[in-house]
Structure 1
Amino acid sequence: MEYTRLGRTGLDVSRLCLGCLNFGSGQEWMMNDRAGSIDVIERALELGINFFDTANAYSNGESESILGEAIAGHDREELVLATKVYFDMGDGPNKGGLSRKHILDQVEGSLDRLNTDYIDLYQIHRWDDETPLEETLSALDYLVESGKVRYLGASTMAGWQFSKALYTADIEGYERFACLQPEYNLVDRHEEANLLPICADEGVGVVPWSPLAGGFLAGKYDRDGDVPTGSRAETDDYTQNRFTDENWRVLDAVRAIADEKAASPAQVSLAWLLHKDVVDAPIVGARRIDHLEENVDALSVELTEDEVARLEEPLFPQWPVEGKD
Structure 2
Amino acid sequence: MEYTRLGSTGLEVSRLCLGCMNFGSGEPWMMNDREASIALVERALDAGINFFDTANIYSHGESEAILGEALSSYDREECVIATKVYGPMFDGPNGQGLSRKHIIDQAHASLDRLDTDYIDLYQIHRWDDETPIEETLAALTHLVETGVVRYVGASTMAAWQFAKALFTADREGGERFVSMQAEYNLVDRHEEANVLPLCRDQDVGVVPWSPLAGGFLTGKYERGGSREHGRAADDEFMDKRFTEENWAVLDAVRDVAEREGATPTQVSLAWLLGSDVVDAPIVGPRTEEHLADALGAFDVDLSAADRDRLQAPITPVWNPDIGDT
Deviations 1:30-64 (A, max 9, x none): 11111111111110000000000000000000000
Deviations 1:305-324 (A, max 9, x none): 00000000000001135557
Question: How does 1:53-92 map onto structure 2 within 5 Å?
Answer: 53-92=53-92
* CA 323–140 in structure 1, closer or farther in 2 if over 3 Å, else same: closer
Partner of residue 41, structure 1 = 41
* CA 287–236 in structure 1, closer or farther in 2 if over 3 Å, else same: farther
SS of the aligned residue for 1:144 comes to helix
* CA 323–294 in structure 1, closer or farther in 2 if over 3 Å, else same: closer
- State the Cα RMSD in Å: 1.2
Partner of residue 238, structure 1 = 237
Q: Confirm or deny: 8 A CA contact 1:214 1:232 kept in the other structure.
A: yes
Partner of residue 248, structure 2 = 249
**Rounded Cα–Cα distance in structure 1 between residues aligned with 2:152 and 2:299:** 30
* CA 324–218 in structure 1, closer or farther in 2 if over 3 Å, else same: closer
Question: How does 1:75-154 map onto structure 2 within 5 Å?
Answer: 75-154=75-154
Partner of residue 297, structure 1 = 296
**Rounded Cα–Cα distance in structure 2 between residues aligned with 1:80 and 1:39:** 18
**Rounded Cα–Cα distance in structure 1 between residues aligned with 2:261 and 2:235:** 30
User: Structure 2-normalised TM-score?
Assistant: 0.98
Q: Confirm or deny: 8 A CA contact 1:233 1:240 kept in the other structure.
A: no
Partner of residue 306, structure 1 = 305
Task: Note the residue ranges of structure 1 that are not aligned, 5 or more in a row.
Answer: none
Deviations 1:131-189 (A, max 9, x none): 01100000000000000000000000000000000010000000100000000000110
Q: CA deviation at 1:240?
A: 2.7
**Rounded Cα–Cα distance in structure 1 between residues aligned with 2:306 and 2:47:** 28
SS of the aligned residue for 2:177 comes to coil
**Rounded Cα–Cα distance in structure 1 between residues aligned with 2:98 and 2:320:** 25
Say if 2:272 is the partner of 1:273.
yes
Partner of residue 283, structure 1 = 282
Q: Confirm or deny: 8 A CA contact 2:111 2:119 kept in the other structure.
A: yes
**Rounded Cα–Cα distance in structure 1 between residues aligned with 2:323 and 2:53:** 22
Q: CA deviation at 1:227?
A: 2.3
Partner of residue 226, structure 1 = 226
Q: CA deviation at 1:235?
A: 5.6
What amino acid is aligned across from residue 269 of structure 2 in structure 1?
L
Deviations 1:209-240 (A, max 9, x none): 00000000010000121224x52244643123
Q: Confirm or deny: 8 A CA contact 1:151 1:178 kept in the other structure.
A: yes
* CA 218–118 in structure 1, closer or farther in 2 if over 3 Å, else same: same
**Rounded Cα–Cα distance in structure 1 between residues aligned with 2:236 and 2:164:** 32
User: Structure 1-normalised TM-score?
Assistant: 0.98
**Rounded Cα–Cα distance in structure 2 between residues aligned with 1:324 and 1:75:** 35
**Rounded Cα–Cα distance in structure 1 between residues aligned with 2:235 and 2:36:** 22
**Rounded Cα–Cα distance in structure 1 between residues aligned with 2:136 and 2:319:** 25
* CA 99–321 in structure 1, closer or farther in 2 if over 3 Å, else same: closer
**Rounded Cα–Cα distance in structure 2 between residues aligned with 1:286 and 1:164:** 34
What amino acid is aligned across from residue 226 of structure 2 in structure 1?
D
Partner of residue 263, structure 2 = 264
Identity percentage of aligned residues = 67
Give the number of aligned pairs. Answer: 324
What amino acid is aligned across from residue 20 of structure 2 in structure 1?
C
What amino acid is aligned across from residue 297 of structure 1 in structure 2?
G
Q: Confirm or deny: 8 A CA contact 1:28 1:235 kept in the other structure.
A: no
What amino acid is aligned across from residue 106 of structure 1 in structure 2?
Q
Question: How does 1:170-249 map onto structure 2 within 5 Å?
Answer: 170-228=170-228, 230-234=229-233, 236-249=235-248
Partner of residue 21, structure 1 = 21
Partner of residue 318, structure 2 = 319
SS of the aligned residue for 1:153 comes to strand
**Rounded Cα–Cα distance in structure 2 between residues aligned with 1:117 and 1:321:** 37
Q: Confirm or deny: 8 A CA contact 2:227 2:234 kept in the other structure.
A: no
SS of the aligned residue for 1:214 comes to helix
**Rounded Cα–Cα distance in structure 2 between residues aligned with 1:176 and 1:322:** 26
**Rounded Cα–Cα distance in structure 2 between residues aligned with 1:148 and 1:96:** 20
